[in-house]
């Protein structure tokens, strides 16, 4: 099936569809839902139709939501025979490795009554032995990645706020699935890692002696990245554009990791919008008493309560040609980076052009329903935001929203 006028169908393999107003192949009209296999954004296959009439033209495909029962294995069974949900198709073998690593970590803690010390070679060697014993005991056919297992041991004491946000967001989403019954739950193990955040060269890894606790609120983060990295974070100068749902999340993470807490660090945030009651369900730095106040002012104050050391300046300006006297050469040249938290394409494109001109890194992000995207733009290494274009968003008639809401996004 090929969609008309290159309209994206939006289906996924495994979805079920039925048809109406098909000319020629009349057997499809009002048929039982057929499982499809997606071939591309504009085409999908519906199985064997050789016994049907000759297709002439036209027709509408409608997705049919079919109830699905999911049977989960017990913890004991799934530990021995796990099924994984992939988070990164570039790491196809990673979940099986991490599955063993977490079991080894529990065994290490049970034996030593503590986690492996940060970047400790001795503890990593003991951890590797536990991994090898588990692999032999479970008769695993996979080859254990020794470097990955060492890193797992080195980092097991660490605690990084953005990773906690991923865990919390995933858990909250699973809870919403359970409450609504409208989405399929994760089945059964979901592992997520961000080891690419570490230095590429092992020679640049932190040393065990440098990662000992000092009583700092950032000790658990220093245990991962080392004190030098923490010092660089503290002296970063960042410009955050937008204080809505994404802006609130970014600001919270900035405060928790200690961004711009040093003598030379600063965060500038701008948003000209006023807080409305409808914002409160997703823009979590705001409370009912904040309705009617500027988002940027309120968000900055909330962040200061989270971490009084953050140096933050709030503005209520629109980004565009009319504010280039405020956000001028001097302003951009002192920045280490820009983070977009915008809700319209024009402002995104404008900020992208400014970042390209001044050669500044850009963190671009957006949301659509339960989905989100992030694009990291680095000068001379990646394409810019404006280098590619998304397809136009499908609009929903206001009469449908008011009188006949029939889909989750309504």
Catalytic residues: 399
Give Dmax (Cα) for the chain. Answer: 77
Say if CB 45 and CB 1 are below 8 A apart: yes
Sorted by sequence, the CB contacts under 8 Å of residue 55 that are 6+ apart come out as 22, 23, 24, 25
57 has which bridge partners?
23
Task: Give the number of C-alpha atoms closer than 13 A to the C-alpha of residue 341, restricted to the C-beta side.
Answer: 24
User: In 10 A of CB 314, how many CB atoms?
Assistant: 20
Spatial contact of 331 and 338, defined as CB atoms under 8 Å apart: no
Element (H, E) at 127: helix 121-137
Q: How far is CA 302 from CA 44, 183, 306, in A?
A: 48, 33, 6
Give 168's Cβ-side CA count (13 Å radius).
Answer: 8
């Amino acid at each position: 099936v090929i969609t008309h006028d290159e309209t994206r169908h939006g289906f996924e393999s495994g979805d079920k569809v039925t048809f109406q107003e098909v000319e020629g192949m009349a057997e499809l009209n009002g048929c039982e839902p057929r499982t499809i296999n997606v071939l591309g954004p504009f085409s999908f296959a519906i199985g064997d139709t050789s016994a049907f009439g000759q297709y002439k033209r036209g027709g509408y495909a409608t997705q049919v939501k079919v109830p699905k029962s999911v049977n989960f294995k017990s913890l004991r069974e799934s530990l021995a025979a796990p099924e994984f949900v992939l988070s990164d198709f570039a790491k196809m073998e990673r979940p099986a490795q991490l599955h063993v690593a977490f079991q080894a970590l529990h065994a290490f803690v049970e034996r030593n009554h503590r986690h492996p010390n940060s970047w400790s070679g001795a503890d990593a060697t003991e951890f590797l032995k536990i991994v090898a014993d588990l692999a032999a005991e479970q008769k695993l056919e996979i080859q254990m990645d020794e470097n990955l297992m060492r890193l797992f041991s080195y980092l097991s004491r660490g605690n990084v706020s953005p990773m906690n946000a991923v865990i919390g967001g995933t858990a909250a989403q699973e809870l919403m699935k359970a409450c609504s019954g409208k989405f399929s739950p994760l089945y059964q193990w979901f592992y997520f890692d961000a080891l690419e955040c570490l230095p590429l060269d092992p020679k640049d890894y932190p040393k065990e002696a440098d990662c000992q606790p000092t009583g700092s609120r950032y000790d658990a983060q220093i245990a991962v990245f080392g004190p030098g990295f923490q010092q660089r974070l503290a002296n970063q100068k960042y410009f955050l554009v937008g204080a809505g749902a994404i802006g609130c999340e970014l600001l919270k993470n900035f405060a928790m990791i200690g961004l711009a807490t040093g003598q030379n660090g600063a965060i500038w945030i701008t948003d000209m919008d006023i807080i409305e009651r409808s914002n409160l369900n997703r823009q979590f730095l705001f409370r009912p008493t904040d309705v009617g106040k500027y988002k940027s002012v309120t968000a900055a104050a909330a962040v200061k309560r989270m971490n009084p050391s953050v140096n933050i300046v709030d503005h209520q300006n629109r980004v565009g040609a009319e504010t280039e006297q405020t956000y001028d050469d001097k302003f951009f040249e002192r920045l280490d980076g820009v983070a977009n938290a915008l809700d319209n394409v024009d402002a995104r494109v404008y900020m992208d052009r400014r970042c390209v001109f001044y050669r500044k890194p850009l963190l671009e992000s957006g949301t659509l329903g339960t989905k989100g995207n992030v694009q990291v733009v680095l000068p001379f290494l990646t394409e810019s935001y404006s280098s590619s274009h998304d397809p136009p968003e499908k609009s929903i008639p206001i009469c449908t929203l008011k009188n006949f809401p029939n889909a989750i996004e309504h």
